[in-house]
Chain A
Amino acid sequence: MVELELTLLGVIVSLFYSLILDGLERKIRAKIQSRKGPPITQTLYDVIKLFRKELLIPSTAPSMFMFAPIVSFSMIIIAYLILPYGFPNPMGFYGDLILLVYLIVASTILLLYGGSSSGNPYAEIGCSREISLLMANELIIALVIATIAIRYHALSLNTVLASLTISPSSILIVLTLLLYIYIESARLPFDIGEAEPEIASGYLIEYSGPLLGLTIYTHILKRTLLYLFTSVVILGLVDNIIQLSDIISRFVTILLFVTLLSILYSIISNICGRFRVRHAVNAVRAIIPLPVLALILSFLGL
């Protein structure tokens, strides 16, 4: 059962690496805005500072206001447990692709429940916007899962990693995944859920101190989780080209893909403005033909 220890190692490494990743993204944003920018470990300092701050609870908020972020944080941690870090994960099972998607949806929803439980109208507006995006986005990931299931008869991440081959539908899958990841991680054109100038940071408005630190950390973890998921799929494709045998090099290539993705997304998100809610939902709807084409191709066996 050596893989079990390695998976746990992979989880711990990616938990800390996600903070460094966010620091890296801040550095890139600073470079694009031609300023020096904070050090790479700035996000780590922020989170630690927030954990030491005092906790403010709105008087009308039920106790769910405190528990929702905690449970949504643990949902994300579980999603990390079933991810294959380059080698078949012993915790994975047939159909855990769907469980992964549901864990991501569950953690966002619980965060929104927590946010709107503060009773602040800004939080509710942010929550309703975030969910409209989530709904529109869900159709895309549903199509992607269907394509993977049809083309590679694989509903578990381990088999996805093992059985992916280079084919038109798999390339389309990767493309759609890249777009899905961009939207799901609420990058700039799509960060209507917590648009700072419009609705005063949406559903995070009432959070302070440790809870705010935890929500920010959950958000960063979710982003890294999505990067990991895509780089697992990409690694599945790359396996057909170059055979990477030992486990450490595969894990390092995954981290490499994750960093590349994060740099690419950070650059893109810094050179565009924010969508109106209607624009965001229409833009997500405009992406739908891509995975539908992938699904049709996979039916034809391509």
Chain B
Amino acid sequence: MTVNNDILKIFGDYVIKAITIDNIDYIEVSKDKLKETIEYLTKEYNLHYITSIGVDDRPLTRTLRVYHVFSRVVEDKFIVIGCSTDPHYPHVDSITPVVPAANWAEREIRDLLGIKFRGHPNLERLVLPDDWPEDIHPLRKDVPYNLRSVVEVKVTYPLKRPREHTVLPVGPYHPLLHEPEYFELYVDGEKVVDVEYRGFHVHRGIEKLGESRLTYNQVPFVAERICGICGFTHSTCYCQAVEKAMKIHVPERAEYIRSILLELERMHSHLLWIGVACHLLGFDTGFMHSWRIREHIMRLCERLTGNRKTYGLNLIGGVRRDINKDGVKKAINVLKMVKEELKRFIECLLSLKEVKARLEGTGILPKNDAWKLGAVGPTLRASGIKYDVRANHPYAAYKEASFSIPVYTEGDNLARLLIRIDETLESISIIEQLLDKIPKGDILAKDIEVHEGKIGLSMTEAPRGENIHFVITGKDNILYRWKVRAPTYANLPVLKVMLKECPLSDAPITIASIDPCFSCTDRVIVIDIKNGVMRVTSFKRLLRCKI
């Protein structure tokens, strides 16, 4: 309550609504006072910017609403500051000058909802493809979800290009990362001087899909396919958001099963990344061995959930499949074997002098840059800031398990590698604790009824960082608004800082050090553009994620 009446005291007349729902302080302010309130808040309280959400509220209140979500680092509390603007003249003050991390989120809202942000440094198109018509904003309620846009002229996105340096396109199809993203490295000799990013080639419009066709219990299966590796965190996060909105009590055993599988997924995601990092550093034997160890975990998940990666377990209110007796026993000895093999592999990896020499001192992310630009997950913790959703905002069964959060201060590639190794070992101990403390009981809450207009916000710690699902429930079993903010979305702007002055041969490992998963970041269907130069097919290239 303290934050609410603090705001009421200062901006009394401008505040329209200030209520708190369990741990979310929801404040609604009038349009022109938004920037001051946020400026005041970020000065007073130690806030961590999470994301901004645009909602087309015309059916209900004939306005377009913008919510900015912050989380309190000190205690498990969220602050949502929103304002509304009329649809005919959608202009809102941009908060990027105050909170640089909000840069991309505001540009996305401009693309998808057409709300212009005054004072934004570069309000260019971020998410939609280059030749998407200017006036159609997909997330507006009146736009049908299966719209095929008519293509007129091919407009190339004008990337700023300094003249004198060599431009090196690390383009959509590059062996560096097996996903379509486009970096432009400006190279001077063997040194990278500047980098430009133009991504979102596989934006698939999952949010639009969630609002129009899928029922509540069908959305988890789509959420699970947002990312090819960290699918389960997305579906758990979605279910928790709806459960929070509906105040549904999830049975104890289901929460344990969810946490166990979340940690299993974290392990196999980190092992995959360690393998890719070894490959980028030329140590292919390391790639093969780390994926060999990972195979044991994939086999274990297949046995527990019926599929190697898309577990398909989550429903609103719990889990669909139980872990039986021999499943637990099997898991324990697999984990023991994996722990011992992993220790031996890590010892070999860190004994290579030349691999370590390439990781040390490259791609340095200073502490204040990390915090200001809103880095998340291992990238943030490698720069010396101890912030982990499992500890700061505990969810599922993490309250029962005791675990330590590895933090390094150098902020270079080596720190990020060591963090991921420690986290994998930490996950093993978490799973072992949870497995022997798992209670009896049913796994799915019965008779859930969902009513309209509730707000739900939940955060989970994905292997790459925190990922947020924001949900507004709608009528006849369909969501009204569903916002997904994947961790790589927050980590990408940080790359610009890390890639400055880094040698060219280490650019790939620096780009991969934030473990980017571009399929998470992009969520619109790329329509088959027939412009003769480049045929962009609509299905997603999941080379890496197809396990």
Contacts and interface: CB of A to CB of B under 8 A. Distances in A.
> So, do A and B actually touch in the complex, CB under 8 Å?
yes
Interface of A: 29, 32-35, 121-122, 125, 188-189, 191-192, 195-201, 270-279
B282 interface: yes
Contacts of A195: 282, 505
A79 B536 CA distance: 48
A122 B289 CA distance: 30
5 closest residue pairs by CB, A with B: A274-B282, A33-B288, A273-B355, A273-B283, A273-B282
A270 B168 CA distance: 29
A271 B282 contact: no
Interface of B: 166-168, 174-176, 187, 190, 278-286, 288-289, 292, 352, 354-355, 357-358, 503-508
B342 to A, nearest CB: 15
Contacts of B506: 276
Contacts of B354: 189, 272-275, 279
Contacts of B288: 33-35
A271 B176 contact: no
Contact of B166 (A121, A197, A199, A201): A121
Given A34-B288, A34-B292, A125 B504 contact: yes
B190 A277 contact: yes
Given A270-B285, A273-B281, A279 B174 contact: no
Given A192-B505, A272-B352, A276-B505, A197 B176 contact: yes
A27 B352 CA distance: 23
Nearest to B169: A121
A133 to B, nearest CB: 13
Given A125-B168, A191-B282, A279-B354, 13 more contacts: A32-B285, A33-B285, A34-B292, A121-B167, A122-B168, A125-B504, A196-B175, A272-B282, A272-B283, A273-B281, A273-B283, A274-B354, A276-B503
A188 B283 CA distance: 9
30 contacts: A29-B284, A32-B285, A33-B284, A33-B285, A34-B288, A34-B289, A121-B168, A191-B282, A197-B175, A197-B280, A197-B282, A198-B507, A199-B504, A200-B175, A270-B284, A270-B285, A272-B352, A272-B355, A273-B283, A274-B281, A274-B283, A274-B354, A274-B505, A276-B357, A276-B505, A276-B506, A277-B190, A277-B503, A278-B503, A279-B354
User: Among the interface residues B280, B284, B508, which one has the most CB atoms of the partner chain A within 10 A?
Assistant: B284
Given A192-B505, A275-B354, A279-B354, A197 B279 contact: yes
A188 B282 contact: yes
A197 B508 contact: yes
A195 B289 CA distance: 21
Nearest to A274: B282
A217 to B, nearest CB: 22
Contacts of B358: 273-274, 276, 279
Nearest to B286: A273
A16 B250 CA distance: 68
Contacts of B355: 272-273
Contacts of B508: 197-198
User: Among the interface residues A198, A200, A201, which one has the most CB atoms of the partner chain B within 10 A?
Assistant: A198
A195 B284 CA distance: 12
B284 A200 contact: no
Nearest to A198: B505
Nearest to A122: B168
Nearest to A277: B190
A121 B280 CA distance: 20
Given A121-B166, A189-B354, A276-B358, A271 B285 contact: yes
User: Among the interface residues B279, B292, B354, which one has the most CB atoms of the partner chain A within 10 A?
Assistant: B354
A198 B168 CA distance: 11
Nearest to B507: A198
A133 B146 CA distance: 56
Contacts of B174: 200
A204 to B, nearest CB: 12
Contacts of B292: 34
A79 to B, nearest CB: 29
A276 B354 CA distance: 9
Contacts of A188: 282
A270 B166 CA distance: 33
A218 B392 CA distance: 59
Contacts of A270: 284-285
A254 B292 CA distance: 38
A273 B352 contact: yes
Contacts of A201: 175
A278 B354 CA distance: 12
Contacts of B187: 125
User: Among the interface residues B190, B282, B283, B292, which one has the most CB atoms of the partner chain A within 10 A?
Assistant: B282
A196 B284 CA distance: 11
Nearest to B359: A273
A198 B283 contact: no
A274 B284 CA distance: 10
